[in-house]
Structure 1
Amino acid sequence: MIGVGQPDLTKLLGGQYREMSVERLLRMLTRLGCGDDISVQSAGRALEEAIDWEAVAA
């Protein structure tokens, strides 16, 4: 159903998800009917000043 074998599912249910890529985890969630929404927030003002938002938007 979610595209993983029993050994990987056992690891995942046991909290051992660090060996799996973010992409693989998101695919599993999508197959289960869950939406995904990723948001990134800066820890401080320095990052916001370092990003050229006009270049990112282009």
Structure 2
Amino acid sequence: MKGLMQGKKSRVYEKCSRRVYDTADPVHRIGLGILFWGTMMYLCFSLFSLINQMK
């Protein structure tokens, strides 16, 4: 039962994300990518500096 809900939820999410991806023009897509990677890099960097401070 849980697996069925999980599958349905992921399918809905996939459909929504695909729709967003299709409607977003390349500029927005690139912007979102940069924003995403920037956030990831920032999180990694802050975590790294935090670990260095603890030493």
Query: TM bucket by the smaller chain?
Result: under 0.3
Q: TM-score, normalised by structure 2?
A: 0.23
* Greater helix fraction, Structure 1 or Structure 2: 2
More contact order relative to length (CA 8 Å, sep ≥ 6):
1
